[in-house]
Amino acid sequence: MTDQEFDIIDELYFVTSFEELRQKLQMPEPELRHALRSLVGMNFVKCLFPNQDSEVPFDPEHFDREGHRYYFLATKEGLLAHNLR
């Protein structure tokens, strides 16, 4: 896990929107999207769309179009990896 990914998971103990993450972490959107893709691929983060209560499987094409409207939450696996670091 990169330092950037660690910082993202640090913000995802609770459901957080893409825009909130971007603002809190002061990350450029392309970097944030890339890191989130990586975390989802490792099963460390789950995607919620169109609201905070609806988990969806990750779809790269949909994420490219609507990623700014997604919400994210760290998974149990992601939290364990984060806390063991």
DSSP letter assigned to residue 45: E
Q: For the chain, which domains are there? A: 3-84 (1.10.10.10)
Distance between CA atoms of residues 48 and 45, nearest Å: 10
Look at residue 29 in the predicted model and tell me its pLDDT. Answer: 94
Express each pLDDT in 13-53 by its tens digit: 999 999 999 999 999 999 999 999 999 999 999 999 999 99
Residue-level length of the chain: 85
Look at residue 85 in the predicted model and tell me its pLDDT. Answer: 83
DSSP letter assigned to residue 2: -
Phi, psi dihedral angles at 34 (to 5 degrees): -60, -45
Averaged pLDDT of the chain: 96
Helix (H) or strand (E) holding 16: strand 16-17
pLDDT over 90 (residue 9): yes
Give percent above pLDDT 90 in the chain: 98
Give SS3 for 19.
helix
